Amino acid sequence: MDQPLALPLDIPARGRLEALHGQLRAAILDGRLAGGQGLPSTRALASSLGISRNTVVAAYDRLLSEGYVSARHGSGYAVAQGLAKKKVAAPGDEGDRRLAARWRHLARPVRSGGKVPMRYDFCVGLPDASRFPFDAWRRLSARALRSLSRTPAVYDAPAGRQALREAIAGHVSFARAVTCGADDIVVTSGAQQAFDLLARCLVTPGRTVIAVEDPGYPPLRAAFEAAGASVVPVPVDAEGLIVEQIPPAARVIYVTPSHQFPLGMVMSPARRMALLDFARRHGAVIIEDDYDGEFRYGGRPLDALQTLDREGLVFYVGTFSKSLFPALRLGYVVAPPWAMAALAQVRQISDWHCDVLAQDTLALFIAEGHLARHVRKMRRIYAERREALIDGLARHAGDLLTLQASDAGLHVATLLRAGLPADGLVQRAAGQDMRIEALAGYSIGAAPPNGLVFGLGMLPVARMEEATQALGRLLKAGR
Amino acid sequence: MDQPLALPLDIPARGRLEALHGQLRAAILDGRLAGGQGLPSTRALASSLGISRNTVVAAYDRLLSEGYVSARHGSGYAVAQGLAKKKVAAPGDEGDRRLAARWRHLARPVRSGGKVPMRYDFCVGLPDASRFPFDAWRRLSARALRSLSRTPAVYDAPAGRQALREAIAGHVSFARAVTCGADDIVVTSGAQQAFDLLARCLVTPGRTVIAVEDPGYPPLRAAFEAAGASVVPVPVDAEGLIVEQIPPAARVIYVTPSHQFPLGMVMSPARRMALLDFARRHGAVIIEDDYDGEFRYGGRPLDALQTLDREGLVFYVGTFSKSLFPALRLGYVVAPPWAMAALAQVRQISDWHCDVLAQDTLALFIAEGHLARHVRKMRRIYAERREALIDGLARHAGDLLTLQASDAGLHVATLLRAGLPADGLVQRAAGQDMRIEALAGYSIGAAPPNGLVFGLGMLPVARMEEATQALGRLLKAGR
């Protein structure tokens, strides 16, 4: 039974086999040729297309060997069953069923992206990359690549390149008095990977309790929730995390002692001692997130918790997302010796190691003094912006908000006068192409502070007056 | 009671305050000044050091504000308690106690490093990077960086840069007939991160069963074990994974259909259909690892499982570790639409996204045709090496080993004649500065195949005769 093909085939003068095979295959896959349908005999098809029978035989053979057609009992070929395109399941019950429950129940999706920059952009968490010495980076990257091209392609150590670990150890020992050597450092893809690796090492799902600052840094919470930890918020006051309110069951405590995120206070010496004491007594460990500790505008910094720790209780997490720029995805954790092997193993399972070229470039960048120089330069620039911001806020909206005391970092937090809800302001600001953020976005507890956070990374000092004026108008209109 | 300090202090003419403060602080931290010990009065210390009393007052004030000393009842200062250095806990019970149990019980640590290259290096899994067009990469990297320097520093999309996702979609559609667009792609830090993200998305700890090929790829197993999956080995034969032996409980199935790792066979069309059918019937998903599918030396490749899949059951994982080099840490997964949101979210929690500079460079590299050109060039080179290896093995050890049929990839597997145990050979080879690998290293089951795997990445064709000769001598000595 030789039924003709109800399928338009377009066979060119050259490449006939490829064309015939490809068009039949496409028709099988998209359902124009249905499963079970018989194909014309090679002779009939060749004749109808005006091509050689050998070409048709070759095309059928190929489809057969690929499983698109099957040989019929007797003779001839039929389209194989079950190949025609069906609608791919839309995200919904069918899809969700396949995803582990925990991904559906994460407390909140992590924010990302949006239009950058807005006209008045006080986006939190971004440095100003426009002053970055891209030329130096390019030159060092070329040098690192040349050196890399002379060595074989191998997988490297999960903890990172030796030269970079040494450079980071030198940098952090000098800049933050963190006592460490290269062997204590795991290079990570930004601070976020450090949090994720720590969560995966330290959390026993369903059992481990982590205490975090409230308000605090949501992506850290997301990493620990994903690992199956119970996240318990602990309030902060003018001295930082209120240590007495840490639940005794907490086995991990996350703090930002140099510059509380997002409120900005420095953790007091007494609290630091109390926190270390808590960890000692309860067998807990501390994650010290020093995300923008390089940017201090006055006074001598207090020593890191890591510096004070004598017993291997503290994981010190640093990042180059603020001192260089986030697109690089480079950070590190200074870990106690007992945890190094586990961290390296989890790192290897996660993604083996960071891009070697970026690591080698950064190692040269630090060793040649560019990092220290760039941080010094940016510290001056952010300090000017910060002063201009604080000054502008005082003049244009001084009676409507209260500055949170802080002398470090890339953002400034303020509390709003009662009756001026931050959420509405944020939305009205967006309507005027201004980005401000509500403190409540970083809160967990029932009574979030009513305030705003201003990032210093996107607005040059020359535009601060204009921006704070616009903000003042907005606030006054909201009264 | 004014006791003198039993501590040598060395105070220079300039920077007296810094020196005094620093030396006292160091002595407190390293225990030379014990907790509770009283400090001399400011007057006494100033006099004994021959410096101004104000300097001593300032140093004590600073130590007090930092929490290193405390004010005594009455007057004077004492060293704070609990600061002196103790021995940091060695990795052992105390340290282990803090690590979640699963990290101690991982089936096997993932291999890494070792001396590279050895004299005769048949290391598996490494490409030859010496032919890589480093100049082109450097030029494109500089261009990408210039472009990056004109945009603000932002966090990017977890799924990857749009331009790279488009370039990968074009590449994989063309090279492997994988049907996808940019929206179906998540850029990852190598295939390993793809496996890890999939494990974290698809596994419910303690419940999910994954079926893997035996022998197979250990780091994939490590990622799924880490996520809490039960890993069940399924044997392979000349047609690839034996689908009938997949346990019905399996909800994830991992396969290397283009080039079984490490044995090298191609999965037959019938098995491909049967596997897709299994997944359909059991609500399972398939991870298709096409780690070196670009390197085929004969015949037309069979279509990817992803191409045959009509129902969103297949995750197709690709990597640039073999086609470019592993140090880049770039790979990707082509995912069904229902899983994209979860993958992006897990990616963001893991480490946000890949280094943007590397992504942008690779996007240009693909768009300008360098990837396709490089793969074509390397395919010729590896084909020559493969032929020389097979020829040399046949001549120098033909009666002692049997080649596994395969016409693709960067390695060749062989079975050894009975009575020639691979383990002993591997060790004796290492003693002669030769790296060969035992198939057993990739096995899970009780009766691993007795054979060797030879990687093609490290030995140029000109040295293959010498290397196979040496290998032949080694095998004959082992009889």
ipTM for the complex shown = 0.84
What pLDDT is stored for residue B86 in this prediction? 52
Q: State the pLDDT at residue B87.
A: 45
Q: Do A338 and B300 touch (CB under 8 A)?
A: no
Domain with CATH 3.40.640.10 in chain B: 153-368
Best of B258, B277, B355, B362 to mutate (most A CBs within 10 Å, chain A): B355
B416 min Cα distance to partner chain A (Å): 28
CA distance to partner chain A, nearest, from residue B399 (Å) = 33
CATH of domain B16-79: 1.10.10.10
| Residue closest to B315 by CA, chosen among B206, B208, B196 | B196
Query: Of chain B residues 67-106, which have a CB less than 8 A from chain A?
Result: 67, 80, 82-86, 88-92, 94-101, 103, 106
Interchain contact, A204 vs B346, CB within 8 Å: no
Write down the pLDDT at residue A110: 43
Query: What pLDDT was estimated at residue A81?
Result: 76
Minimal Cα–Cα distance from A367 to chain B, Å?
Answer: 21
- The answer to whether A308 contacts chain B (CB < 8 Å) is yes
Residues of chain B with pLDDT under 50: 1, 87-98, 100-113
**How many Cβ atoms sit within 10 Å of the Cβ of residue B109?**
13
pTM value is 0.85
Average pLDDT over residues A50-59: 90
Position B7 scores a pLDDT of 78
pLDDT score recorded for residue A419: 86
Residue B69: strand pairing partners: B79
Interface of B with A in 153-192 (CB under 8 A): 153-158, 188-190, 192
Kindly report the three-state secondary structure assignment for every residue of B59-77.
HHHHHHHHCCEEECCCCCE
Higher pLDDT, B71 or A207: A207
Chain A partners within 8 Å of B312 (Cβ): 88-89, 95
Q: What is the mean pLDDT of chain A?
A: 88
Closest CA to A260 of A279, A236, A242: A236
Reported confidence tier of residue A63, pLDDT bands at 50, 70, 90: confident
- From chain A, pick out residues whose CB is under 8 angstroms from the CB of B29: 307-308, 310
- ∠ Cα B348 B350 B352 (to 5°): 35
What's the rounded mean pLDDT across residues A362-370? Answer: 96
| pLDDT the model gives residue A325 | 85
When pLDDT is cut at 50, 70 and 90, the band that residue A25 belongs to is: confident
Element (H, E) at B401: strand B401-403
| pLDDT of A88 | 45
Chain B closest CA to A59's CA: distance in Å?
Answer: 13
CATH topology of domain A100-129+373-478: Aspartate Aminotransferase, domain 1 (3.90.1150)
Residue type, B292: D
Tokens read off for A432: 């005027």
Pick A299 or B178 by higher pLDDT. Answer: B178
Tell me: pLDDT of A106 over 60.
no
pLDDT band at A447; cut points 50, 70, 90: confident
Distance CA B219, CA B443 (A): 12
A window 424-453, beta carbon within 8 A of B: none
Pairs of CB atoms within 8 A across A/B: 349
What pLDDT does B405 receive?
Answer: 82
Contacts of B142 (CB under 8 A, 6+ apart): A138, A141, A142
- Tell me the pLDDT band of A100, cut-offs 50, 70 and 90: very low
Contact list, A98 vs chain B (CB under 8 Å): 202, 251, 283, 285, 338-339
Which CATH number describes the domain made up of B153-368? 3.40.640.10
State how far the Cα of A432 lies from the Cα of A144, in Å rounded to an integer. 45
Q: Which of A110, A205, A312 faces B348 most closely, judged by CB atoms?
A: A110
CB B109 within 8 A of CB B309: no
- All residues of chain B having their beta carbon less than 8 Å from the beta carbon of residue A138 are 141-142, 145-146
| Cβ pair A99:B339 closer than 8 A | yes
Chain A residue with Cα closest to B30 = A310
Tokens describing residue B351? 């480490």
Yes or no, beta carbons of A83 and B310 under 8 Å apart: yes
Joined tokens for residue B30: 């390293």
Specify the higher pLDDT residue, A346 or A13.
A346
Nearest-Cα distance to chain A for B477, in Å, is 31
Mode of pairing for the β-strands spanning A411-416 and A314-319: unpaired
B30 touches A: beta carbon within 8 Å? no
Amino acid at A130: S
Name the residue of chain A whose CA is nearest to B283's CA: A98
**A 275-294 residues with CB < 8 A to B:** 276-277, 280, 283, 285
With beta carbons under 8 A apart, name residues in chain A contacting B459: none
Contact B338 A96 (CB under 8 A): yes
Question: What separation in angstroms does the CA of B254 have from each of A136, B105, B174, B221, B232?
Answer: 44, 22, 24, 9, 10
Put simply, whether B394 touches A (Cβ < 8 Å) is no
Q: Comparing C-alpha atoms, which of A415, A376, A372, A375 is closest to residue A397?
A: A415
B232: three-class secondary structure by DSSP: strand
Is A328 close to B303, i.e. CB distance below 8 A? no
Q: Give per-residue pLDDT as tens, A76-98.
A: 888 887 666 554 443 334 444 44
3-class SS letters over chain A: CCCCCCCCCCCCCCCHHHHHHHHHHHHHHCCCCCCCCECCCHHHHHHHHCCCHHHHHHHHHHHHHHCCEEECCCCCEEECCCCCCCCCCCCCHHHHHHCCHHHHCCCCCCCCCCCCCCCEECCCCCCCHHHCCHHHHHHHHHHHHHHHHCCCCCCCCCCCCHHHHHHHHHHHHHHHCCCCCHHHEEEECHHHHHHHHHHHHHCCCCCCEEEEEECCCHHHHHHHHHCCCEEEEEEEECCEECHHHCCCCCCEEEECCCCCCCCCCCCCHHHHHHHHHHHHHHCCEEEEECCCCCCECCCCCCCCHHHHCCCCCEEEEEECCCCCCHHHCCEEEECCHHHHHHHHHHHHHHHCCCCHHHHHHHHHHHHCCHHHHHHHHHHHHHHHHHHHHHHHHHHHHCCCEEECCCCECCEEEEEECCCCCHHHHHHHHHHCCEECEEHHHHCCCCCCCCEEEEECCCCCHHHHHHHHHHHHHHHHHHC
Residue B385, pLDDT score: 97
The predicted pLDDT at position B301 comes to 75
Domain boundaries for CATH 1.10.10.10 within chain A: 16-79
Structure tokens belonging to residue B24? 């006292």
A292 vs B contacts (CB less than 8 Å): none
Supply the pLDDT for residue A85.
55
- In this predicted structure, what is the pLDDT of residue A33? 82
Tokens at A295, concatenated: 């940017």
B226 → closest Cβ in A90, A130, A349: A349
Residue B176 has a pLDDT of: 82
